[in-house]
Structure 1
């Protein structure tokens, strides 16, 4: 494949598609409707590769498994991860997902080690304790915002994975300031005082200070912890260089950012999907009650081995990941002119593999709009199911995410029943899809039997 100069792509032409209005392109169209309909209608009209213009950038959209693999795996070096500068400032420029090459590889390995199966198998009882304390406040008879509550839970699990057991004062400060950054992240990026984005920038500075204090304290104690901060602190590259406090802080905030909303969205959808399918809910309850009964009789807590043996629940998790497709697409940028299937992708253009379109394609998943966990009794075809992305930039925390979801489901179905309040349908994008208004619901304790 030739990628060096425009001349070498003589026969290649730009993909079909419309660039919309001058400068704003199709951005308004994308944001004024359900993004899924926007992408689906484009795909229907132009096929699996098409061009458009959104958020001030010319883009090529790719909606086939082969194209996603081409961009994310086989030719990943030709497509760098790209984020708007305003978002990079809030997370921190040294966070691993803004990079390619040696630095990215080094950081990715560190994050992978701290979130590997070996590392997280020891967190089960701690995560269960977080699930219990999060849900304790739900049974007052009041309507709760399920998504907001799940965000609290996933943030606490994130803190556990990054720092192990962290002092309450640090935890509260982190939570408060991260919440402000989170609110400003998808707001209009302006430096005007009082705006959500400006508040977020100031909160981000405070986060750096808090993290610097925690890092300093940990260095003094010289503890050899296996959590993420421990892995970052003990890392040296081949020249013996250690990571700076800023690099560590950016990557810690990057992990919080990657771990919170996405996992919370999936758990919110699971609460809805189970609520909407009483038969399936009964099957999940029966599976989880067996585990609970065994533990009660033998006076055991929930253990790692149990979470590895929840076949029905696990298929519900996979189908929720497919159906909700929290990450609808990912942004890359061509670092050279690239030719794909006779089409030219010019250097500097954004390239977006559309995961949701692939997950909802009837060719790969029959009746894609139907929630059917049994479809995962057979492994999906390669590159048709990518809830955590693919290739060198795939989410390194996917096993932790699945573990915390399984533990929360175990906790919910064995101890609670619930009803969804208000609208049964409707999706909000912020930017991740969540049920309307965060899925307001009422929870009651199950009478223990």
Structure 2
């Protein structure tokens, strides 16, 4: 009996040892890139998901780059993977879409968007091309230039005016809601304000949620992410079904087009369209809200940058023949420093930790072989924080873009991906951010009152959020100067205001008063009070 058990145990040990060996030494027709496959099944996933309170390259990537070089192998979420921060190789890979690689998403993202949708978009170039062209026809450069720019300015102006009446707000969530409502209105003619739908609680940080371990139990970030995803999918279903029931009410939007194309495009099923709508909106509000939040946070303690931004936009306003006219495409294109601020914000944000592809052929690189069927992760942060390209890469320096050529950015600036799969919403995102900054700096000012923590989880996040004091109208800067202005502002300004505040606090809480003589106000031209203002002061209980 003991010999049987001993034989079984020995066999299990042999099998386990062989399995572990095969895990750590995958089959390859050549030499694999250096690296480690980590623990069987788990790989190095836990190390990858460790958060870091910095805009720097995630520690998981940075440590392995230093140890193995710009291209290394690992295993994440049970998948063999090669990670690359080599701009030349990445550029080459993006040009090989459909030949050597195809788009791929992590399993958790498949579940978030809908596995059937992601599989079909990734593997069928004609489907991706159709969706890309359809989106571009409604929010691409021509649509922005000829139709959308005034709509963006009006929507942003109305929203910021509403924000100015609030005592405080959390920036990222507020931006996510604004961008969702605006994009839904442009693409699907959905008016969230008129619908009565309460969508403000749907916007947890989806990116942070799906980058967590995919443990779907109450209390986890991933569980909350899936719950909010279902709420938004239900909303998309409602919008879609209402439009489908009433096709005669043409809106001329993206949803109209896709419904009309159902007659000829067999891949356009009800479920597919609903999840595509959700995916487009998710991509817009997640990435733009995070990037703009970072920009607002970084600008908050950079008065020189805000001053240059403000001067650029005020010059645009002053040059208009009609002071009440809206922003034009020519004016938008002239915003040189604004474009630099947007680019610098995109460079530092690197909202997504990686751009994923799957190899459909063996790929040779630098003497190594990446086997067919492996995943390939291009790391934007490692490319966009490269000190050989960007001096002092962690500093927020919009002026650096004055000397960067298009040849450099082609391979070293990929906030929207690259190649055939470049994000269709890239121009829309940049225009939105530019117009938002235009309205913000010409009409408002803001102060951060809580938060300011930046973290990578490994997706970009902001801890407990960035809270700003209700955006106040930017009138006081030029129209309220009791203590002077500029470099010669009175040094006792704060002391004076605090003294008056404390005086009033003591006066109204403990005393009452009555004017018994005088009360005449005059200017001589200095402020004066004639024979004075005489009061009788009594304690409140007297």
Which TM-score band applies after superposition, normalised by the shorter structure? 0.7 to 0.9
- Give distance in 1, aligned partners of 2:365 and 2:260: 42
Paired residue for 1:447, among 452, 475, 481? 475
**Cα deviation digits, residues 353-388 of structure 1 (max 9, x gap):** 111101111122122122221222232513111110
2:127 maps to 1:109: no
The equivalent residue for 2:69 is 47
| Alignment partners' CA distance in 2, 1:171 and 1:407 | 28
Query: What do residues 410-445 of structure 1 show as CA deviations (whole Å, max 9, x unaligned)?
Result: 111111111222455x31346631444322222322
1:18 matched to 2:29? The reply is: no
Mean alpha-carbon deviation: is it higher for 389-398 or for 138-147? 138-147
* 1:130 paired residue number: 155
- Residue 419 (structure 1) aligns with: 447
SS of 1:406 mapped into structure 2: helix
Map 1:28-177 onto structure 2 (within 5 A): 28-34=46-52, 36-92=58-114, 93-94=116-117, 97-121=121-145, 122-140=147-165, 142-164=167-189, 166=191, 168-170=193-195, 172=197, 175=199
Q: Decide whether aligned partners of structure 1 residues 187 and 271 sit closer, same or farther in structure 2, where only a CA change above 3 A counts.
A: same
Paired residues of 2:343 and 2:398 also in contact (CA < 8 A): yes
Alignment CA distance shift 1:266-1:193 (3 Å) = closer
Two-structure CA RMSD over aligned residues (Å): 2.9
Report the count of equivalent residues.
436
Distance 1:295 1:232, change over 3 A: farther
Q: Counterpart in 2 of 1:256? A: 281
- CA distance 1:410–1:240, change in 2 (3 Å): closer
User: Which residue of the other structure, out of 383, 399, 402, is the alignment partner of 1:374?
Assistant: 399
Structure of larger gyration radius: 2
TM-score by length of 1: 0.87
Aligned residue number for residue 4 of structure 1: none
Q: When the two structures are superposed, what TM-score results if normalisation uses the length of structure 2?
A: 0.73
Question: Partners of 1:282 and 1:296 in 2: how far apart?
Answer: 24
Cα distance in 1 for partners of 2:196, 2:102 equals 34
User: Which residue number corresponds to residue 347 of structure 1?
Assistant: 372
Contact 2:49 2:458 in 1 (8 A): no
Q: Does 2:465 correspond to 1:438?
A: yes
Task: Give deviations 1:83-121, integer Å, cap 9, x for gaps.
Answer: 234432432332575443222222222122222211123
Secondary structure (helix, strand or coil) at the match of 2:411 reads: coil
Consecutive unaligned residues in structure 2, runs of 5 or more: 1-26, 479-542
Equivalences for 1:200-219 in 2 at 5 Å? 200=228, 202-203=230-231, 206-217=234-245, 219=247
